[in-house]
Each structure stands twice: as structure tokens, then as C-alpha cells.
Amino acid sequence: MRLLVVEDEVRLAQALQRGLAAEGFEVEVAHDGLTGLSLAMEGRYDAIVLDILLPGMNGYKVCAEIRAAGNWTPILMLTAKSGEYDEAEALDTGADDFLSKPFSYVVLVARLRALVRRGAGARPVPCQVGDLRLDPAARTCDRDGVPIHLTPREVDLLEALMSRPGEVVSKQELLDRVWGPDSGVDPNVVEVYLGYLRRKIDRPFDRETLLTVRGAGYLLADA
């Protein structure tokens, strides 16, 4: 299994390289964002470990660029601070998982194995509901040909609703599917993101397709 580690703290990078090699990974290291990005684009890695604070280009940007190029290699981000803000941002730029520093080496290896097992996976196929179209892999969305810019999290949420048009999807289900079953985030985050979506897919078009069904969940009207 091939890994790319992008980490500017040389001693930490070396320790990771040695430790992960001992676990059977083949590890390449980059010490700055731009080198990391070009290696990620050229190389065929099973997973990428990406620090956030990096010289040249920060980890969020590196991650977003990799995803924008249609590269779905699993990415585990190392966040310097622990806190939901960083984690949310890491996931929003297209990272698959995150780990706060300082981290347990055992946990890192377990997470990497899980990511590699899951693999880059088959990305979801384009979907259409009425005149609303979404290509989750390319992260493009439009209504009647008018492009709509969505963040990765909004794409995931919209995709979850578009996969079941006209059906009520519960808040918990959306939370599990978009944020993960063990995310521990406040369930009200679903409501917040639905508000973002409404401001993008409905309001500018004078539509009301994203509905709240009180006490039950949310529904994307299919007409």
C-alpha cells in the first residue's frame, strides 16, 4: 500500500515514514504543500496524510485542488487544533477523515487501514430532479442550466435528498449520511445547511422545493 505523507515538521514526517513503513506501507514524504500537491497528482497512492499548516500551500487548499482535479484518493487530514471548526473545514474541502494533533500512532494506522479498505470508491452518479441537476463527483450543480456553486458538504446533503425525491428523509438519516454516524456534531447543523441550500437552489429561482416536514424531516419536492 502506497502512502503520501505531506507534513512540514521534518522529525514528525520522518517518524511517520519509519513507523508506517514498519506497518507495511510504502511511504513517500513531501514537506510543503506544492510538492505534496504535485506528488498527489502524479502518483498513485492508496491514501494521503495531509497536514493543514504547510508552507507553500495549506492543506485545505491542497485537498481542494486534488478533489477539483477529480482525484478521489482517500485523504486523512491532520488538524493542529482540536475543535469542530477545523474538522468541519477539513471535511468540507473533501477530506475523508481527520485526526487532531497530537495523535495516537495506533489510531492513525487504524484510520489509514480503514480508509485504504474503503478505497477511493465509486463516486455517485449524476442525478436530476425536475430542472435541478447535480453531478456529485464533478461537484457541479445547475437549475435549468444556471450554475449553482455548492460546497462539498452541500453537495453531499443535496445528493442525499435528490436520491429520494418526494420522500421525507429524517434529520438523523441526513446527519448519519452526510456527517457520519459517530460525528457527534449538533443535529441542528442539518437545519443550518438546509438553509444554505435553500438560499442557493430555491430562492434565486423563486422556488420552494426544499421543504421541512415538521417532526419528520426534510423533503425535496420532485415537481
**Which residues sit at the interface with Ca ion, rule CB under 5 A?**
8, 51, 53
Report how far apart, in Å, the C-alpha atoms of 67 and of each of 49, 55, 186 are: 15, 20, 27
What is the closest distance, in whole angstroms, from the C-beta atom of residue 54 to Ca ion in the complex?
A: 6
Contacts of 40 (CB under 8 A, 6+ apart): 4, 6, 48, 62, 66, 71, 73
Closest separation between CB of residue 59 and Ca ion, Å?
8
Closest residue by beta carbon to Ca ion: 53
In whole angstroms, how close is the CB of 17 to Ca ion at the nearest point?
15
Our CB check for Ca ion shows the closer of 51 and 65 to be 51
CB-nearer residue toward Ca ion: 53 or 211? 53
CB of 130 to Ca ion, least distance (A): 45
Cα–Cα distance for residue pair 54/32, rounded to 1 Å:
6
> Cis link prior to 102 (omega < 30° from 0)?
yes
Q: Which is nearer to Ca ion, 8 or 173 (CB)?
A: 8
Q: Which of 47, 35, 49, 23 is nearest to 101 (CA)?
A: 49
User: Is the Cα torsion angle 115, 57, 67, 129 positive or negative in sign?
Assistant: positive
In the complex with Ca ion, the residue whose CB is nearer, 12 or 211, is 12
The angle, 0 to 180 degrees and rounded to 10, between the axes of the packed helices 188-197 and 152-162 is 90
Minimum CB separation of residue 12 from Ca ion in Å reads 8
Residue 51 and residue 6 in contact, taking contact as beta carbons nearer than 8 Å: yes
Q: Which is nearer to Ca ion, 8 or 92 (CB)?
A: 8
